[in-house]
Chains A and B, each alone.
Chain A
Amino acid sequence: MAKITFDGIEVEVPDGTTILNAARQIGGGVVPPAMCYYTPLKGTGGKCRACLVRVAAGSAKDPRPMPKLVASCITTVQDGMVVENTTSQQVMDVRKGIVEMLLINHPLDCPVCDQAGECDLQDFAFEHGVSTTRYEEERRTFEKIDIGPLIQLHMTRCILCYRCVYTADQLTPERVHGVLGRGDASEIGTYIENIIDNEFSGNVIDVCPVGALTDKTFRFKQRVWFTKPVNAHRDCENEKCCGKVTLWYKGKDVLRVTARKDQYGEVKEWICNTCRFDKKETSDWVLEGPAHINRASVISANHYELPVINPQVLADLPESTTRELERNPPLRLGGING
């Protein structure tokens, strides 16, 4: 076990845990954002640089600070490590820079993007970005590509997190999905516009943090915040499929089916394409009840219980964070106008 201090909060985690996962054990506002790291996928992380933190003391044995900011998703903890995230101005400034870099070539077409409302980049930019841009040049654009009849790739929106590459690599036996090109001209692709013909290919839609990979059976059907997520399961014939899903209802209609995501947007158990694309009747499923959606999410606005902040959590936070929360509350009680 290793004991670390993260933003002034002590936490004890098993050796080999990454700083990010240690922070997730604390939870709440101190957790660094992650745009490319995805726990269930081996090898992800380190690419987007959104989760950079400052290590003020490397370990109890060697308490020197690390010379550069480190990616918390791939750096493992050492006993006695002291990490600064929200308490370090340097980290906050760098994070602002990362948002800017991710956005300069992003089309910002959220009004017509299916991911809007459940987009990691939206959340990240809202939380850490600025409202203006310094980028005057033309943005990078790509043609839309159909990879198979069910999935559409819109590279223009992609932030090259490589999550879908790892998903395709680790869930599907034949490797047709990868990165082509170099630098800011690199693109996700199936060579050449190949179909990912596999029962688990639909999972690339769920892992995509932005609207680059979308479900063609759901495209432009509905804004996600007008749909209601309900957990359900079925006895799937495919033994690799867990059969546990979230159904997104509009009225009585199931508009789309996704795998279940945890509070950090991660799918823990994969589902097959039959469950995702073909089973869109309530009678196909055993309903379990409303899916839990983060209270801060626009999806839960007007739907669920009023937000409650546990006073104990507040008491444990460092003073600077509490002050920040008071000045700039993450959510307002009673909806937008309240």
Chain B
Amino acid sequence: MGRKLLTEHINVEGIDTFDVYRKHGGYRSVEKALKTMTPDEVVEEVKKSGLRGRGGAGFPTGMKWSFLAKPEGVPRYLVCNADESEPGTFKDRQLMSKLPHLLIEGMITGSYALGARTSYIYIRGELLYVLRILEKAIAEAYAAGFLGENILGSGYSLDLHVHPGAGAYICGEETALLESLEGKRGNPRNKPPFPAVQGLYARPTVVNNVETIAAVVPIVNEGGDEYAKLGVGKSTGTKLISACGHLNKPGIYEIELGVPVEEFIYSDEYCGGIWKGRDLKAVVAGGSSVPILPKELILKTAAGENRLMTYESLSDGGFITGTMLGSGGFIAMDETTCIVKNTWNFSRFYHHESCGQCSPCREGTGWLEKVLHRLEHGHGSMHDIDLIVSVAKQIEGNTICPLGEAAAWPVAAAVRHFRHEFEWHVTNPKEATAPGAAYRGAAVLA
């Protein structure tokens, strides 16, 4: 089993309290950064580590940090995006509820690196119990002198606040998050200007995912070069994967990037294979918004190479035969799964969560859902299958924020790889809508 950098002590009794966390080596990175490093040196270590954003887009964190505008006399902010609400992704919730101090430690070190004096954790509204855990941990950190005025006598001061959202998926989009944090309606902003120039309260802001910020802790502790030794190529370090669906051992796994997908699904060390001895049908590898892949393509790339759990390997083949690592929400579906129903279900989610600001997404997501509902319930026509592809294409790339794409990609990929199954719903509606019915024909691989 690979090394665990974030979750090594996750099962220690009382690790959510300051004393136990500190006993297991907690807050070393704050001491090291504040006492021995300049902010720029911390940024440099993060750059060297090759850490990429763990929220889905995979943008290099060090580069994002170095883009932050630093005008004189203007406050800067670090905001942690804890609005994790993508179907299939539940890694941050676990990390925050079990290891609240890890996130706080990362926030202190990160804020120091960016020169932020006030930082925010924007947490999903439904995670109220996690909010309480975090608030308790923050109070402990204040009491221990790791937050507040003049931390560890270094002259650096930081205030950390937790702010709950009201349960909107769209507020996980960074500019919508900032709007919501400012107390406004959570509509994504037009970009440019980017948050690095005009973010929270029109000040330079960095928005990072929970796991990204947590990963700063081992990077500072062990050095960026040491961190970069883990993983493959440009996918360095470890990644939390929340595996769910028809697996023998669903759960959250911290893997070293580069583990073969086949090993991740079938080895006993990870998911332990498909439940009830069934066959795998399809996998959504990075949360509901990434393209779905049939078994043949998720295990091997179109070129016949083993697919690995890395940013590059999963996106090998583009959106024709590949997908994305995304946020690490790994959903496995066995042979009894109905792909049409699943696509409709995802579509229903995006319809419900579209903010309604720009027209292609507002109207298109609802349209997709309605047509998919029709198809799933056996009232569709062949023409409807082309219609949803066309509507998805009309949304993709023409919206303000990526939610439009997130709604369009899964539909387009499902039709691309499972067109026969959609057609089967049209030609054999009675059979297809019977309880527990599933199409068992071959998928389209190219």
Contacts and interface: CB of A to CB of B under 8 A. Distances in A.
Contacts of A119: none
Contacts of B355: 182-183, 186
B366 A183 contact: yes
Interface string A88-106: 0000001001101110110
B398 A160 contact: no
A68 B398 CA distance: 8
A325 B272 CA distance: 66
A159 B359 contact: yes
B394 A181 contact: no
A71 interface: yes
Interface string A144-186: 0000000000000001101000000000000000110111111
A184 B363 CA distance: 6
Interface stretch (B61-69, B76-84, B346-354): B346-354
Given A74-B190, A104-B367, A184-B363, A98 B356 contact: no
A185 B356 contact: yes
Nearest to A180: B185
Contact of A97 (B370, B398, B400): B398
Contacts of B353: 182-183
Nearest to B362: A184
Contacts of A98: 359-360, 394, 398
A137 B371 CA distance: 8
Contacts of B185: 178-179
Given A101-B394, A134-B387, A182 B359 contact: no
B333 interface: no
A256 interface: no
Interface residues of B, number: 28
Given A178-B185, A183-B355, A68 B367 contact: no
A183 B352 contact: yes
Contacts of A182: 168, 170, 352-356
B426 to A, nearest CB: 15
Contacts of B362: 101, 160, 183-184, 186
B365 A183 contact: yes
Contacts of A104: 363, 367
Contact of A68 (B358, B360, B397): B397
A45 interface: yes
Contacts of A52: 398
Contacts of A183: 351-356, 362, 365-366
Contacts of A97: 360, 394, 398
A135 B368 CA distance: 11
A279 interface: no
A104 B394 CA distance: 13
Contacts of A74: 190
A49 interface: yes
B38 interface: no
A110 B352 CA distance: 29
B178 to A, nearest CB: 15
8 contacts: A46-B190, A47-B357, A49-B398, A94-B394, A160-B356, A179-B356, A182-B355, A183-B353
Q: What are the 8 closest A-B residue pairs judged by CB atoms, nearest first?
A: A97-B394, A186-B356, A183-B354, A46-B190, A101-B363, A184-B366, A183-B356, A137-B370
